[in-house]
Chains A and B, each alone.
Chain A
């Protein structure tokens, strides 16, 4: 178990600064997910923690050891690669055992460790097979077993599920969560998939263009985004963020210099007739597409403030094209012109948390 600290870590490839002055602490025993669009520097960060990439400047600490000059094999880290990186010329057993043999662990102990781990991941029957004869999910398990058998302080996983099909992916997702619970080891997980990040992580680090946008628990990230990037990154569909200028005529005058207003599709109601409400923002618009997903319907609505998504959990599909979107004032998020959250701005009075009879 270990805590990882990144201090002023910067990585420059040629002329490009892929990671910019990163300062973050990955808590001991946490399941920390690094998430962001491709090219945001998440994999580079991960590889720097593993020691496969050297930071241009800054320090990386694992527990109280500064690991800048420690080779990857000595960092007490195990990594699961995106395409597994199994050794194709070795059997499953040899793959799992390889690291132990390199560490010169006696044969008896090795045997015990390998069979113990294989039991956990359910690989015993494939022991003498080569990876090419295994399915994607089984290969994934071998890669996990190879990482687990070393009993590392930190597990590093680089988009390990991206090569699996949807069903297997959700199954492995649960298995990884359980595995983390059982081992209690620090997990650092990289993904570009926000659903994966939300469902697995207990701490999420959102990166964009080499900078940290927000570090928080999944629910805090969802309910309390710090900036438009986070707001637009998390959620399916993501938060609607529209320019304040276009919306302000529909709102009571609140004397603010906000740049953007955001509202979540699932907080937005859709009506076929105009509604009159003194605590809701009402925007007229026109439905462009309807996605009926069974439990919910997602509308894309074109309006004068821009194109917005609306998620409705009502089973009846809105038929008319001319509609009105309405959002409670309490569900509006304000951002300044740089996209930073303005937490002190609100329209009207905040509703009490407990609803009194309707």
Chain B
């Protein structure tokens, strides 16, 4: 082979090598590990076939983890997207005030999740937290934000939405600005009401953005880890334990690496399946220019 033919491959080689080493290889190694019983250190790995998966499905805790993940993902995606869309429609204007608000709501995005978690733990503290202090001012009883199994998961959703809306709003605004202005002018001349303009023009034109954000925030929410590890450690009573935290706990705290890998495989399947469903159901309704 001549150098001319080889050269392009050498150019993409670094990224391909990194991709294979840190993405493809771990995935296959995880699938490989999921059929073994191993504790990370013992020299022998016992092949157990699908036993890890069978015990995973039979575990009440894991079912709860799946349910928690689903609830967390649905609520986070739903509220993040709807609030962001609303804000984007409001903030998509020229002017210093609007830029300032945009910047302000974007700022959580650049703060480390660890800091955010610390901040919200402090705000949500049942006894000394600012949130309960405010509620006290208006005469509402204290809420056990992070310490009650009925509320903890929703508190985490609140944090995720708070962190996510800035970025999502920004992407929505970019999407809104790519809609040609004269289309709105034509609609104005066509006597369309603001609601009809939103429903018949803005939303269809925004559908690629909406679809993109829905897919990436769904995948991101399914993989939530930092806030849970810092704020609740999956508790109380397993009520905030989600996929990735569960995998981490089993793998790196209980050293059941085969079992954790099996959970990882399930997560991979769930996310792939959901993404496929998303594409099948929604892609046909998305209008690409």
Binding site for B on A (CB under 8 A): 50-52, 71-74, 77-79, 81-83, 85-90, 98-99, 102-103, 132, 146, 150
CB atoms of A98 and B188 under 8 A apart? no
The segment from B59-67, B68-76, B168-176, B200-208 that touches chain A is B200-208
B38 to chain A, nearest CB (A): 54
B4 to chain A, nearest CB (A): 39
Please tell me which one of the listed residues A50, A78, A83 contacts residue B180 in the complex, with CB atoms under 8 A apart. A83
Binding site for A on B (CB under 8 A): 180, 182-183, 185-193, 196, 200-201, 204-205, 207, 287, 289
CB atoms of A52 and B188 under 8 A apart? yes
CA gap between A179 and B46 in the complex, in Å? 85
CB atoms of B201 and A89 under 8 A apart? yes
Cross-chain pairs A/B with CB under 8 angstroms, 8 sampled: A72-B185, A83-B180, A83-B182, A85-B180, A85-B186, A88-B205, A88-B289, A90-B200
CB atoms of B196 and A87 under 8 A apart? no
Q: Given A79-B186, A81-B186, A98-B200, decide whether A89 and B205 contact each other with a Cβ distance below 8 A.
A: yes
Q: Given A90-B200, A102-B193, A132-B289, decide whether A85 and B183 contact each other with a Cβ distance below 8 A.
A: yes
* Interface contact tally, CB-CB below 8 A: 66
CB atoms of A85 and B182 under 8 A apart? yes
Q: Given A81-B182, A83-B182, A102-B196, decide whether A89 and B204 contact each other with a Cβ distance below 8 A.
A: yes
CB atoms of A87 and B200 under 8 A apart? yes
CA gap between A86 and B200 in the complex, in Å? 12
CB atoms of B190 and A99 under 8 A apart? yes
B61 to chain A, nearest CB (A): 46
Chain B residues, CB < 8 A from A87: 183, 186-187, 200-201
Closest A residue by C-beta to B183: A85
CA gap between A146 and B191 in the complex, in Å? 13
5 smallest beta-carbon distances between A and B, as pairs: A73-B191, A89-B204, A99-B190, A85-B182, A85-B186
Closest A residue by C-beta to B204: A89
CA gap between A72 and B207 in the complex, in Å? 28
B44 to chain A, nearest CB (A): 61
- Give the most central of B185, B192, B201: most A CB within 10 Å: B185
Closest A residue by C-beta to B180: A85
CA gap between A132 and B205 in the complex, in Å? 13
CA gap between A294 and B100 in the complex, in Å? 63
CB atoms of A85 and B287 under 8 A apart? no
CA gap between A103 and B190 in the complex, in Å? 8
Chain B residues, CB < 8 A from A72: 185, 188-189
Chain A residues, CB < 8 A from B289: 88, 132
CB atoms of B189 and A73 under 8 A apart? yes
B176 to chain A, nearest CB (A): 15
A157 to chain B, nearest CB (A): 13
Closest A residue by C-beta to B196: A102
CA gap between A99 and B193 in the complex, in Å? 11
CA gap between A86 and B184 in the complex, in Å? 10
A103 to chain B, nearest CB (A): 6
Closest A residue by C-beta to B205: A89
Chain B residues, CB < 8 A from A77: 189
Please tell me which one of the listed residues B182, B190, B200 contacts residue A73 in the complex, with CB atoms under 8 A apart. B190
Q: Given A83-B180, A87-B183, A88-B287, decide whether A78 and B200 contact each other with a Cβ distance below 8 A.
A: no
Chain A residues, CB < 8 A from B180: 83, 85
CB atoms of A98 and B192 under 8 A apart? yes
B201 to chain A, nearest CB (A): 6
CA gap between A83 and B180 in the complex, in Å? 10
B282 to chain A, nearest CB (A): 14
**13 extra A-B contacts, CB within 8 A, seeds A81-B186, A89-B201:** A52-B185, A73-B192, A79-B185, A79-B186, A79-B189, A83-B180, A83-B182, A85-B182, A85-B185, A88-B287, A98-B192, A103-B191, A150-B190
B185 to chain A, nearest CB (A): 5
Please tell me which one of the listed residues B192, B204, B205, B207 contacts residue A102 in the complex, with CB atoms under 8 A apart. B192
CA gap between A172 and B86 in the complex, in Å? 43
CA gap between A323 and B259 in the complex, in Å? 98
CB atoms of B182 and A50 under 8 A apart? no
Closest A residue by C-beta to B197: A102
Chain B residues, CB < 8 A from A52: 185, 188-189
B199 to chain A, nearest CB (A): 11
CB atoms of B200 and A50 under 8 A apart? no
Please tell me which one of the listed residues A50, A74, A82, A89 contacts residue B287 in the complex, with CB atoms under 8 A apart. A89
CB atoms of A99 and B191 under 8 A apart? yes
A109 to chain B, nearest CB (A): 16
CA gap between A77 and B189 in the complex, in Å? 7
Chain B residues, CB < 8 A from A50: 185, 189
CA gap between A160 and B200 in the complex, in Å? 24
CA gap between A80 and B289 in the complex, in Å? 21
Chain A residues, CB < 8 A from B183: 85, 87
B239 to chain A, nearest CB (A): 43
CB atoms of B188 and A71 under 8 A apart? yes
CA gap between A150 and B200 in the complex, in Å? 19
CA gap between A71 and B189 in the complex, in Å? 8
Q: Given A88-B287, A88-B289, A89-B204, decide whether A74 and B185 contact each other with a Cβ distance below 8 A.
A: no
